Amino acid sequence: MKTLRLIFGLPVLNFYSMTPLTVATVASSTYDSASAMTAVRDQFPLLKTRAHGRPLIYLDSAATTQKPAPVIDAMADYYASRNANIHRGAYHLSQSATGLYESARARVARFIGAAEPAECIFTRGTTESINLVAAAWGRANLRAGDEIILSELEHHSNIVPWQLVAQATGALIKVIPIEDNGALRLDQYRALLSSRTRLVAVTAVSNALGTLNPVREMIADAHAAGALVLIDGAQWVAHGRTDVQALDADFYAFSGHKLYGPTGIGVLYGKRLLLAAMPPYQGGGDMIEHVCFAKSTYAEIPNRFEAGTPHIAGAVGLAAAIDWLSEVGLERVAAHEHRLLRQATDRLSAIPGLAIKGTAPSKTGVLSWVVTDPPLATLDIGTRLDLQGICIRTGHHCCQPLMERLGVAGTARASFGVYNTAQEVDRLADALAEIVDQVRQARPATAGPIAMTGHDAPLAVASALTCMYPAATAASPAAAAQDILDLFDDLPDWPMRYQQIIDLGHGLPPMPPALKTKENFVPGCQSLVFLASRIRPGTTDIIEFMADSDAELVRGLIALLRQLFSGQHAAAILAFDTPAFIDRLGLAGHLSLTRRNGLEALIQRLRRVASVAAGPVIAQSAAQSTHSRRPQHGRPGSRLPTTTANQSERR
């Protein structure tokens, strides 16, 4: 029977049994999409809410999936009527909770095709599962000169644990390169395999690009070389069938929250012989056989690796999610998501100035892109879409080595779930086209991408900047803050405040290229940010600065900081309670954690400059105070009071 090719030449596959969906199957699932899939979506309470007054469109399932009502109900029922600690209670309620927990383990084992439930260890998620193998198996088995093979597609959680164990054991890390389209170079992978290879740790699906890796083939190649294999299945288990025995995987890790289940629960599958030979990962209750002060012995698997009270409700919710997803049907899910991926790829590819990152022949429901004409930071893409009720992910997606390979700081990413619709894809594409067009029309023709300047920038250019540092806008930071608050108090909601910040950014003079140096680069912002500061010539403590970023939102935040602090005395900068001002302005609830961290990095850079400048002034003031004040009752002179800003640093 003829196979239907959907996108990039990719058949819709039951990937782990390698059974293609047929034309008849997909045709039937098209009918499902128009009828039964609507009923599926209706089971997600959160998707009935609104964002900024608009219907919520959630396109971030690769970060976490939304939860259907049966999962929410199962966890609520556990807490309402079954809650007790497990394994150690002689009473019926504890035995009932234990039964739920262990039946969840059995359900997981059936779902992934494990030989027995004991091979399934409950963890907090994929990250902890990988760390468990790295710590327990890696430290016990790796030696100096042994090799671990990873790939350029890996999430940080499948890189850093292996770096830690390599540092501890002397093992070496080798990396499989990718093609420009995001596909693994399997020829290079096979060339890396050798008698020194002890472990291959690769993702089944790239969380950043959606690349679907041929893990069955890769496992066979690794085993032929005598190596074990760990598969990061976090981005696969909700999108197609998994059979760890058919794969012959040695270890397999995934998270419940990527599977329409709760956060804080995940699974590590391991072959019994491997798990039984591994030492414990953590010590505590329930993982022991016998304890005395001279020596302890440990429980059999799986208890050996589940120290302490586990996330019982999480296991119950995970089992409910597996039951729910199995009832929907993974084949139906795969066909639905491939249709959305094809539609999104076609629509976004047609937007001038937008470039898709990751066009491997085999993909699942993830689409990443950048906007290069006009240059538009991914942060600004995500923030502008949010104002239209559209949720996407922006940044490096915990894949910094991959972003470096692609030559970008980050991408914008839409990722699809069973609840997404063709109408939502159209809204995404229409909104993106509108945003790109608006920015193209609003941005000056001379504006270009921000970039770092080398150390050989002419000093003459820098010396010509002396008159360009902005002066104070008010008598003090507090007075400047009040001016800003008066303006923002007249703006009733976040969309209007966001637009005001963007307008402030548009009015920020561009930073001269001569100052965009490595020394002026501000790390920790995700966006490209530079800040140049100085003490005003002829003064000892007046701080002036200019800054710039490739993100419009960050430029707006820089404009706020410039209005607050540039041209102000160092002591006044240190005394100003910046966190309270940010809260009062209403920004804290609308900036992501990484964006707040970036703003904090800018503030701390300025505070360090102010601290250096204020040091001599404070010392001189303290000396004068000491000489003018006679100590009382034998005590030394009073110290300067602690400033509000110093208190805020300890929060």
- Catalytically active residues are 398
Contacts 24+ apart (CB under 8 A), 101-110: 101/310, 101/312, 101/315, 101/316, 103/319, 104/315, 104/316, 104/318, 104/319, 105/302, 105/315, 107/319, 107/322, 107/323, 108/267, 108/318, 108/319, 108/322
Give residues with Cβ within 8 angstroms of 77, minimum separation 6. Answer: none
At position 455, the amino acid (one-letter code) is: H
φ/ψ (deg, to 5) at 157: -70, -15
DSSP 8-class letter at 9: T
SS3 assignment, position 479: helix
Rounded to whole angstroms, how far apart are CA atoms 472 and 564?
Answer: 8
- Are 469 and 545 in contact by the 8 Å Cβ rule? The answer is yes
Closest CA to 13 of 332, 244, 186, 240: 240
Give residues with Cβ within 8 angstroms of 128, minimum separation 6. Answer: 266, 268
- Are 314 and 8 in contact by the 8 Å Cβ rule? The answer is no
How many other C-beta atoms can be found within 10 angstroms of the C-beta atom of residue 120? 25
φ/ψ (deg, to 5) at 147: -120, 140
Residues listed for the chain: 651
Radius of gyration of the chain (CA): 28
Burial class (CB in 10 A: 0-12, 13-18, 19+), 423: exposed
CA distances from 332 to 15, 22, 286, 365, 456 (A): 14, 12, 40, 13, 59
Give residues with Cβ within 8 angstroms of 442, minimum separation 6. Answer: 506
Give residues with Cβ within 8 angstroms of 10, minimum separation 6. Answer: 212, 338, 361, 362, 363
Rounded to whole angstroms, how far apart are CA atoms 132 and 281?
Answer: 6
* Sheet strands (E) in 271-400: 288-291, 296-298, 354-357, 366-372, 375-376, 390-391, 393-395
Beta bridge partners of 197: 147
Beta bridge partners of 212: 205
Closest CA to 369 of 385, 580, 95: 385
Element (H, E) at 70: helix 69-77
How many other C-beta atoms can be found within 10 angstroms of the C-beta atom of residue 436? 20
